[in-house]
Structure 1
C-alpha cells in the first residue's frame, strides 16, 4: 500500500521539484494576493506585500504561515504600476510606482510611508518622491532603447536605488542602477552602474532586488535566477564579486527580501495554475 501511494505521488513530486527548483515553499499567500510584486520582511516574523497594476492602492502584512494580519489603504497615492517595495532602518516603507512597460511615463513616483507597524486604523499617509531618468529624452524612445521600466528597489544610506528591467529589442541584457535621494520632492536620478546580466530576455530581466540588513550583500532576482553582489565599495556595486545562481525554478518570481543576512524570502504571482507562494532560500 505504501509503495503504491509513493508511485501515485511521484508525478506531483516531480512537477513540484521542476517548478520550485532550489526554493523551499513555506506558505501559500492569501488568495486575494494573486499578483505580489514587492515585499519587505518585518522582524523575521512577517512581510509587507504590495501588488502591481490593476490592484488596490494598499499594503498588506502577512505572516510566514501565509495569514493576512493587516492591510492599509495608502492615502494620496494611486497604483499605476506598483512594482517594488523597500524599507529604511527607521521602518519607513517606500512603494515604487516604477513599472513602465511602454517606457512612456513621465509621472514615475516612489511613495514614502511611515512605519506601518506604528499606525492605527486602516489608512496610512504617504509622501511623494518624484524622479526622472537622466538619460531619457523621448517618451517613449525607440524600442532599442526601452530600458526605463523597473521592478527593483532598495534603500542604502539615505538613498533609494532603482534597478531597471530591460525591455530592449533586440534584447541587450542590461540592468541599470539609478540613485535617488530618499526625500520627498522632484529629483533627477543618477546612473551609478550598468550590469550585463545575460542574453535570455525572460531569465535575465530583473524583477526584484534587495540589500541585506548589514549592507554587505545585494541581490537581484529574475524569473529563475539570482545575482549576488559582495565586497563592493560604497555604491559601486560592480567593484566586488558577482555570482549568478540558477534557482532551477520555473515560476513567475516577482519579489525578494532578506529575512536575515543569509536568508531570502521570495514570492511569485499566480500564473498558469501555480504560484502565489512564499519561498525561502539560503545563501551559501
Structure 2
C-alpha cells in the first residue's frame, strides 16, 4: 500500500474511533431494519436477536456477526403494539416486552414467550403473559426489562422518578407488583433497555449517552447497592443492550440519517 494511502487509512480509522467515543463498532445492522429497539444473546446460538418497535413487523430477527439478517421469524398470533425489549432464559427461550406506552394511556401490557428461536425456521406462535399495573400506580411507559429468579423486572422510562415493577414468568394474567420507585442522579435519565449478567451480579440500564452499572445489590434492592454512571462519549438513539459476557455489553442504536444502526461493544 502506498504510504499516502496508508496514512489516510490510519487517519480515517482514528477519526472513526473517536467519533464513537468509548464504543467499538462491531457490526453495521442490515438496512432492512431501521428501528431496532433491543438486542439479546441466547445460549448455544451465535446470533444476535433483535426486534423493531411500534408500527413495525411482528417479527424476531437473528443477526450474524456482520449485522446481516439470517433468521426472520414471523410470530403469527401477536401484533407489535409497541415492542421495546428482549430478555431470555437459560433454555434459550426469548421474551418480547410489548409494554411501550408513549401516551401513558395503556391499561394492559404483554410479554410474549418465543420458544428457543434457534430451532425455528421462519414462523411460530408465542405464549402470552399479560399484566396490568397495581391500582395505585399510574400508567407509565416501560422500555426495559430482564428476567431473574422467575420474575421479570420492568423499568419505567422517566425523566425524574421512575418505577420498577415485577411480574411472574407464568403464562396468564397478572397484577404487577411495585418493587420500588427510584431517581437516578443528573440529567438524561430515561432508561431504554436493561439486562443482567449471567452470573447475576451486575445490572445495566441503558441511556442514549451512558449506562448505569448496578452491582453489590441484594435481591429486589438493585438501587441500594453500588450505582455507577458510565459515559460513552457518544450520543445517539441507543435502544438495546445485552451482556456478551460478564464484563462486556453489546449496544444497538436506531438509524438517524446516515448515522447509527450499529452494534457496539462496551467494556464495563
TM-score, L = length of structure 2: 0.92
> Could you tell me which residue of structure 2 aligns to residue 273 of structure 1?
258
Q: Deviations over 1:195-226 (max 9, x none)?
A: 212443xx310011000011110000000111
- The 3-state SS of whatever aligns with 1:83 is strand
Summarize the Cα distance change of 1:218–1:5 in structure 2 as closer, same or farther, 3 Å threshold: same
Residues 233-242 or 150-159, more deviating:
233-242
Q: Deviations over 1:167-221 (max 9, x none)?
A: xxxx4x2332110001111111111132212443xx3100110000111100000
Q: Deviations over 1:120-177 (max 9, x none)?
A: x3111211111112255666xxxxxxxx1011010001111111101xxxx4x23321
> Could you tell me which residue of structure 1 aligns to residue 241 of structure 2?
256
In structure 2, distance between residues paired with 1:137 and 1:190? 10
Alignment of 1:163-202 (within 5 A): 163-166=155-158, 171=159, 173-200=160-187
- Structure 2: gaps of 5 or more residues: none
* Aligned pairs, number: 266
Q: Deviations over 1:66-103 (max 9, x none)?
A: 12211110121100110011101121111011110000
In structure 2, distance between residues paired with 1:174 and 1:87? 27
Contact kept, 8 Å, 1:175 with 1:206, in 2: the verdict is: no
In structure 1, distance between residues paired with 2:104 and 2:13? 40
In structure 2, distance between residues paired with 1:68 and 1:112? 21
- Structure 1: gaps of 5 or more residues: 140-147
Alignment of 1:9-88 (within 5 A): 14=15, 17-18=18-19, 20-42=20-42, 43=44, 45-88=46-89
Pairing partner for 1:152 from 144, 155, 161: 144
> Could you tell me which residue of structure 2 aligns to residue 112 of structure 1?
113
In structure 2, distance between residues paired with 1:116 and 1:174? 36
Contact kept, 8 Å, 2:17 with 2:24, in 1: the verdict is: no
In structure 1, distance between residues paired with 2:171 and 2:118? 21
Pairing partner for 2:213 from 228, 248, 255: 228
- The 3-state SS of whatever aligns with 1:17 is helix
In structure 2, distance between residues paired with 1:38 and 1:164? 15
Residues 9-18 or 232-241, more deviating:
9-18
Summarize the Cα distance change of 1:240–1:4 in structure 2 as closer, same or farther, 3 Å threshold: same
In structure 2, distance between residues paired with 1:133 and 1:52? 21
